[in-house]
Amino acid sequence: PRKIIIDTDPGQDDAVAIMLALASPEDVEVLGIVAVAGNVPLALTARNTLIICELAGKPETRVFAGCDRPLLRPLVTAEAVHGVTGLDGPVLPEPTIALQDQHGVDFIIDTLRNEPSQTVTLCALGPLTNLATAMQRAPDIIPRLQQIILMGGAYFEQGNVTPVAEFNIYVDPQAADIVFKSGVSIVVMPLDVTHKALTTPARIAAFRALNTEPGRLVAEWTDFFERFDKQKYGSEGAPLHDPCVIAWLIRPELFEGRHINVEIETTSELTMGMTVADWWRVTDRKPNALFVGSLDADGFFTLLAERIGRL
């Protein structure tokens, strides 16, 4: 299995991604999960992460709190999408497990220094603040990273928080800029692919039909998500953005993408956080990311139901 650190801001779709990872020990070994401020403030994303690990039946998972705000810009949150708790939908219990004492950024740095070089992959499901802070504070970890798989950005799909910016990149564009310039191998799951990971009544019913507590939770979280997307975009299903990151590690053959150059807009207020993706290779800028664009959605949802069914 590949050793991974999950960096996250749960978020219903983050929750499904975490459950998918925790259900897949033959593919990924979760060394720890670090919360970041994003969909809701850090106190809530950290708490939600604890709840998710417990509900997945994996209370031994180490959970850390990372940064509580973006590098330079004020925090922008997304309660309109995820609800005030960030994990609205089903009624959830109080967590009984506790956060680790260590700061999440120190955990990332220590892990990358202690594990053999090029054996740890970072899976980022929220703004990139923790990872960029770790890279700034300890540049020696950069060549030690095996890969970064992240959900963020958009190209043909444009933005979901401004006309051109996707939420995770928009919240901390300076952090994204540091990560995209780092030289580490990066795989990006932009809206172009996550908008193909759409729930349907049958796909949600398949989670419910698992007849397990995690299955019921995933069904209720996706139900909650759908309500918003129907109202806002008139779309039939809701995109399960973040699980694409974990699914890529398990079944990369479900996805297709291109190695291209991606730069992050960090100065213009109008286009702040835009991922300027050279899809048609019209510049001679060197490719720095595998930008994923297509997905076998049926295969993706089959994988999800099969793995969540194990928990």
Active site residues: 241
Closest to ligand BDR by CB, 17 or 109: 17
Site string for Ca ion, 47-66 (x = CB under 5 A): --------------------
Contact set for Ca ion, span 120-159 (CB under 5 A): 125-126
Closest to Ca ion by CB, 7 or 265: 7
- Residue 107 touches which member of Ca ion, ligand BDR, none, C-beta under 5-8 Å by kind: none
Let me know: does 161 contact 271? Beta carbons within 8 Å. Answer: no
Contact set for Ca ion, span 215-244 (CB under 5 A): 242
Site string for ligand BDR, 155-194 (x = CB under 6 A): -----x-----xxx--------------------------
Q: Please state, in angstroms and rounded to a whole number, the distance separating the CA atoms of residues 183 and 110.
A: 20
Q: Please state, in angstroms and rounded to a whole number, the distance separating the CA atoms of residues 204 and 218.
A: 8
Give one DSSP letter per residue of 215-259, joined into a string: HHHHHHHHHHHHHHHHHHH--SS-B-TTHHHHHHHH-GGGEEEEE
Neighbours of 153 (CB within 10 A): 29
For 256, phi then psi, to 5°, come to: -140, 145
Let me know: does 299 contact 251? Beta carbons within 8 Å. Answer: yes
Please, what is the minimum distance in Å from the beta carbon of residue 113 to ligand BDR? 28
Is 49 among the residues that bind ligand BDR (CB under 6 A)?
no
Is 130 among the residues that bind ligand BDR (CB under 6 A)?
no
Q: Please state, in angstroms and rounded to a whole number, the distance separating the CA atoms of residues 89 and 110.
A: 36
Is 14 among the residues that bind Ca ion (CB under 5 A)?
yes
Contact set for Ca ion, span 157-196 (CB under 5 A): none
Is 241 among the residues that bind ligand BDR (CB under 6 A)?
yes
Q: Please state, in angstroms and rounded to a whole number, the distance separating the CA atoms of residues 131 and 114.
A: 17
Let me know: does 18 contact 45? Beta carbons within 8 Å. Answer: no
Is 125 among the residues that bind ligand BDR (CB under 6 A)?
yes
Would you tell me which residues interact with Ca ion (CB under 5 A)? 9, 11, 14, 125-126, 242
Site residues (CB under 6 A) for ligand BDR?
11, 13-14, 39, 78, 81, 125-126, 151, 160, 166-168, 241-242
